[in-house]
Structure 1
Amino acid sequence: MNTPMAKMVLSIRAAVVPAAAAVLLARSGSAAVLEFPVTIRNTYACIDISVGTPPQNHVLVFDTGSATSWIANENCVDGGCDNVSGYPWKAYDSDSSVTSKDLGIYDSISYLGGGTGGEVYSDKFSHDGLTWTQTFISANQTSMGFIAGEGFFGLAFSSIAEEDTKTVMETLMQDRQVDVPRFGLYYGTEFNDTHGHPGKGVLTLGDSHERKYVDGDVAWVPGKKDSGVYELWRSNLKTFYGERKDNNGNIQNNGSLQYDLGAANGVFDTGAGLIYVPDATIDAVYDSIGWNYTALLHGDYLPSCTDMNSTWSVTFTFESDESSDFTNITLTGDQLKIPGFAYQTDKCNPPFSTSGSPHLFLLGQLYLRNFYSIFDFGGLKVEDYNVRIGFGNLKKEWRGI
């Protein structure tokens, strides 16, 4: 049931997504606030969730770019799927859960070069007294063998979910398990690996903690509908601007890409690793910060991590939550540092890649990790949704690189 835009996002995303933690529960009146500590496994940000009766723990990658959750089943783990992640997968065993229900539907999710498929099930997802019935795919095949978890924890919108499934957050909202229709995300300070235990990061369902994490005000951008419904966490992008300064603060390079309002999309996707820009603009993006994309492609230039510094920056201009204004969000080079390029510790990965679409900017973990991010539905019922996405600069004590 993925639409063209949703399929595009699924097909171009690279190999950084989310993995393990423990879920803490805080009560707020009659409903719950779920706090999932984030564990980073080989760059994958993950959470732990208990599934079934009796409960079995599963490590899932949380993903704002897809809707239907899935967990690898016994057939997949026992050889039906090629696990090349370096981490063992624990299989979902429907026969071991008395609350497991096979809904009699086979669903599949398409990715570039493959996909994930299996029977649709409902079962109990739980932690510390909060239990709800969640639909998901019990996957007997997947091409996602590189992820450091047993499946995905879908956090996009149910409008693009597979048949007879819903997203985790919308299930909680519609069952009135949560009162506040939003979730918040702080990645933590370690982005490659938290060495087998949760880091400082936390995914909060049913509330957000901007007072704790944010220095100053939250910058809000409005969500954008597709064919009258919300599908992905995305907003209209008006301008992309890059510049580089010399040691005296004088501008050496700069460049701006302008779009008619509604012509370009910024999709905020925890399941993507880098920042992905339209193919036709990739040369201009690198030119604006004083780099050469062709040299990067041919291996003639390997970026030193010392090149990832505050002398250059990129700015995204989004449609604002205020109808007449725009919101500028700027990242400096030192905020986009990913060491280990070409297996060299002193080399850093180029921060931008191509999205495969003439109008799509896919803003993944490399973008989101620099902010406290708030994903706000604006209402508990679909007909009341007024979606917006908020980004707050982190207080000094919560910053990473």
Structure 2
Amino acid sequence: MGPLQLALLLLSASTCLALLRVPLQRRRSIRSQLRADGALDDFLREHRPDAFSRRYAHCFPAGTPSLRLGRSSEKLYNFMDAQYFGQISLGSPEQNFSVVFDTGSADLWVPSSYCVSQACAVHKRFRAFESSSYLHDGRTFGIHYGSGHLLGVMARDTLKVGDVSVLNQEFGESVYEPGSTFVVARFDGVLGLAYPPLAEILGNPVFDSMMAQTSLDQPVFSFYLSRKAGGNIDVDGELLLGGTDEALYDGPITWLPVTAKGYWQIRMDSVSVQGIKTFCPRGCAAIVDTGTSLIAGPTNHILGLQQLIGATPTSIGEFFIDCARMSSLPRVTFVLGGVEFTLTADQYVRKEMLGDKELCLSGFMAVDIVTPQGPLWILGDVFLTKFYSIFDRGNDRVGLALARHPANS
């Protein structure tokens, strides 16, 4: 090979690498939509026979005889509150879909044109017969949820995220989505960004395919989530594939090693309220999950925390806070890697309008998930709107830094 050919080869290789920005839209959550429509009580009565944990989907392979909470391959989704969605395309020519970019799962699925459920009728559906790059797989998959289940068939096709194309990406075409959860969801599907052991669909998850096809600058992706939709910023959020954006955060990055490669699971030192009452004082396991909007923890800890912040329970599982008391509410601090990550009431209380009335709701939720490392906490979007999050597959670590928000956002 001559010098000219070598130079051309290196140039070609360098152009394959990308730093890819994916704008995220923040929309009204399913819970907020149902509340505005006056249907939240009926929905929760239908799907919530006992505790908060029923709002989360515990996913396991079809045929699994029981839900074994100690399994490392469990997955969580929080379809009641998912808010941040982005665009992808599948097929040739491209067919566009709105998906949740979810670090709490590892599969990519969208509705199929052959889906017979009401949920599919109100969402975009993948038309396999129109794609010249489509490859039929033939295998089936099932994902079981506390409030229903999802059945589908597996396929391969060209996936495009921004300007990056992934060839022969495995994904699921859902053909049966019973229940009302998916009917009111604003997104079409889910694109999982967790580790491969969480995948229901055999084959590489999307980010693993990107790494294998050397599509990105670094085996890293990062999230910036805004506090309010429609603020004075260009986008409601951003997923950056291939690196980080220093313009979106301040101060040093706190790096936390992944302790179990399924979820983006880390060790949390403790949780305290106003520096006094401490939960999980000897440390506990936590996951960083963009697909969950709230912060979740073991029931006994969360109920104690709700009392300390003055949250009042209701018959439908919501915890309300008196909006007039916001300025007097305590700070809640999560200690990670010896560093304090503190949320004020303005950051952990969700404000929503119901007609002309403002509601203030707690951003904490009780859910009991048992892992080999102990009870699991979930750091969802309530936490991640304040802290820029970095997911480093090359070094198996999570980075957190103070997100840079406009003063009036």
Offset at 1:255?
0.8
Structure 1 match to 2:291: 271
Structure 2 residue matching 1:312: 3-state secondary structure = coil
Describe how 1:7-22 pairs up with structure 2 within 5 A.
none
| 1:218-260 deviation per Cα after TM superposition (whole angstroms, max 9, x unaligned) | 22222111xxxx101121122110128xxxxxxxxx4111343
- Give the counterpart of 1:224 among 259, 265, 290: 259
Paired residue total: 335
Structure 2 match to 1:66: 105
Structure 1 match to 2:330: 312
Offset at 1:214?
1.2
Structure 2 match to 1:32: 18
- State the TM-score, normalized to the length of structure 2: 0.75
Q: 1:255 to 1:52 in 2, by over 3 A?
A: same
| 1:279-332 deviation per Cα after TM superposition (whole angstroms, max 9, x unaligned) | 12123212333x255x555899842334344742111122x2xxxxx2321111
On the 8 A contact 1:173/1:179 being kept in 2, the answer is: no
Structure 2 match to 1:357: 369
On the 8 A contact 1:46/1:60 being kept in 2, the answer is: yes
Offset at 1:147?
2.0
Structure 2 residue matching 1:82: 3-state secondary structure = helix
Q: 1:180 to 1:299 in 2, by over 3 A?
A: closer
Residue 331 in structure 1 maps to residue 343 in structure 2: yes
Which one-letter code corresponds to 1:393 in the other structure?
L
Structure 1 match to 2:241: 205
Q: Measure the CA separation in 2 of the matches of 1:400 and 1:277.
A: 30
Q: 1:241 to 1:170 in 2, by over 3 A?
A: same
Structure 1: state its 5+ residue gaps: 1-26, 245-253, 321-325, 380-385
Q: 1:198 to 1:212 in 2, by over 3 A?
A: closer
Offset at 1:65?
0.6
Structure 2 residue matching 1:315: 3-state secondary structure = strand
Structural RMSD (CA): 2.8
Structure 2 residue matching 1:284: 3-state secondary structure = helix
- Give the counterpart of 2:171 among 136, 146, 156: 136
On the 8 A contact 2:22/2:162 being kept in 1, the answer is: no
Structure 2 match to 1:11: none
Residue 303 in structure 1 maps to residue 321 in structure 2: yes
Q: 1:125 to 1:310 in 2, by over 3 A?
A: farther
Q: 1:198 to 1:50 in 2, by over 3 A?
A: farther
Structure 2 match to 1:166: 204
Structure 2 match to 1:115: 149
Q: 1:310 to 1:157 in 2, by over 3 A?
A: farther
Q: Measure the CA separation in 2 of the matches of 1:204 and 1:152.
A: 17
Q: Measure the CA separation in 1 of the matches of 2:408 and 2:257.
A: 27
Residue 41 in structure 1 maps to residue 27 in structure 2: yes
Which one-letter code corresponds to 1:273 in the other structure?
S
Structure 2: state its 5+ residue gaps: 1-12, 30-82
Q: 1:390 to 1:271 in 2, by over 3 A?
A: same
Residue 256 in structure 1 maps to residue 242 in structure 2: no
Q: Measure the CA separation in 1 of the matches of 2:343 and 2:364.
A: 13
Percentage identity across paired residues of the two chains = 26
Structure 2 match to 1:93: 127
| 1:126-168 deviation per Cα after TM superposition (whole angstroms, max 9, x unaligned) | 2565321211100112254132111001111111112423321
Which one-letter code corresponds to 1:266 in the other structure?
A
Q: Measure the CA separation in 1 of the matches of 2:341 and 2:354.
A: 30
Structure 2 residue matching 1:75: 3-state secondary structure = coil
Residue 391 in structure 1 maps to residue 387 in structure 2: no
On the 8 A contact 1:183/1:206 being kept in 2, the answer is: yes
- State the TM-score, normalized to the length of structure 1: 0.76
Q: Measure the CA separation in 1 of the matches of 2:14 and 2:318.
A: 56
Structure 2 match to 1:8: none
Residue 183 in structure 1 maps to residue 221 in structure 2: yes
Structure 1 match to 2:66: none
